[in-house]
Amino acid sequence: MSSEDDNSPEDIAEDIRDSFADEYQDYDLDDIESLVERFQRMGLGNNDDELRRAVITSVAEDEGVDRGTLLGVSGENGGGGDGSADSVGVQAVKELGDEQWVSMENVKAVQLDEHESDSIIQTGRLGDEDGTVRFVAWSASFEEAPLEEGEVYNLDPVVTDEYEGRISVNLNKTTEVEEVDGVDVEVGEDTEAVEGCLVSINRDRSGLILRDAETGEYVSSDDGDTEHDLRLMGVIDDGTSAQDVVIGRELTEELTGITEDEATEMAMEHLDRSVVADAMAERVLGRYYRIEGVKIGRYLNADGVELLDEAPEFDEELLIEARSMGQ
């Protein structure tokens, strides 16, 4: 999604302001930045989507408009007027509030599921290059499932629905479903980030590991035709939740300072592959990291890892809060 350098509060603030409609582009950047910092302190620092939403909501409240207006994608009138709602992408949809009427162009239908209940005829995800958003098509509005897996559509309008802070879009009676031919859309991966302490390394499955030479799958012993790989499997813990993470060869080398050649040498010297996992664990366990990646099952597959080697700034308000409670 982004390189590590994009993560300063100022960069995030600028990025958020860029998503505002033209008439809100002169909104004070320092104000947005302090909102970013405030929500980071409040625990949203490792949750980009929620952080952005929270900041946008605050600015919208400050301006006395709804989020759609602030972002210039839709009004309260639900795309009335010329009969066509403004077109937005997946990322922008996720930043809208509840019940916003918008249109989506060139979105690909993926992960389709039919009728999960009597009232729902089809669910799935709509994807563009920024990722995916869940959609729901209601039985009351469609006689049969409206979308086909892998096809690209223009949908006008769809209505956003917010449930427990997550946005999905509803396809209803008024939604025109237009299949777009001759266009393919590369669906971006939904990246997530976690920040916390690396509290555990799965020694058996980390370090110098073996993969089946043909399938590339992890194997525990080298009975057949195998090849070496480097990897770390561990747990990032932020004190309130624990996330399994998998870190591939390149990032593992970078993080531990142990290359595959060195690892192979170590293993041969000791006639034991487990020394590699032990040496790696010693270098990475107990430190704090920010890991970005794609969630596959319960694992976050890292595509970026940053050692958090600077403590957060001193928070005067935290001290005041503690002192006032302690009296």
Partner 1 sequence: MSSENDSEVTRQVAVRAFAGEFEMANHTFKESDDQRAPRYMLLPSGAKANRLLIVGTLTETEEVSEGNWRGRIADPTGAFNIYAGEYEPEAAQVLQNASPPHYVSVVGKPRTFETDDGDIRSTLRPESIIVLDGGQGDEETAIETRKRWVHETARQTLDRLNAEPEDVAFDDVEDLIQEGAFVKAADRHYADEYEGGSRQSMASIVAAAYESLDE
- Kindly state whether residue 315 participates in binding partner 1, applying the rule CB under 8 A: yes
CB of 204 to partner 1, least distance (A): 5
- Kindly state whether residue 287 participates in binding partner 1, applying the rule CB under 8 A: yes
- Kindly state whether residue 205 participates in binding partner 1, applying the rule CB under 8 A: yes
From the list 10-18, 87-95, 262-270, 281-289, the region that binds partner 1 by CB under 8 A is 281-289
| Footprint of partner 1 on 240-259 (CB under 8 A) | 240-242, 244
Cα-based distances in Å from 159 to 74, 75, 97, 232, 298: 11, 12, 10, 42, 30
- Kindly state whether residue 319 participates in binding partner 1, applying the rule CB under 8 A: yes
Q: Residue 287: count other Cβ atoms within 10 Å of its Cβ.
A: 12
The sign of the dihedral angle between the CA atoms of 31, 35, 36, 38 is positive
From the list 84-92, 112-120, 235-243, 247-255, the region that binds partner 1 by CB under 8 A is 235-243
Nearer to partner 1, 120 or 279 (CB): 279
The sign of the dihedral angle between the CA atoms of 304, 308, 312, 313 is negative
- Kindly state whether residue 221 participates in binding partner 1, applying the rule CB under 8 A: no
Residue 184: name the closest of 102, 91, 109, 93 by CA: 109
Residue 125 DSSP label: E
Alpha carbon of residue 121 to chain centroid:
27
Per-residue x/- marks for partner 1, 138-177, CB under 8 A? ----------------------------------------
Cα distance between residue 296 and residue 293, in whole Å: 9
- Kindly state whether residue 239 participates in binding partner 1, applying the rule CB under 8 A: yes
- Kindly state whether residue 308 participates in binding partner 1, applying the rule CB under 8 A: yes
- Let me know how many helices (H) and strands (E) the chain has, helices first: 9, 13
- Kindly state whether residue 199 participates in binding partner 1, applying the rule CB under 8 A: yes
Phi and psi at 103, nearest 5°, equal -115, 155
Instruction: Catalog residues that contact partner 1 under the rule CB under 8 A.
Output: 41, 197, 199-200, 202-205, 233, 235, 237-242, 244, 281-283, 285-288, 307-312, 314-315, 318-319, 321-323, 325-327
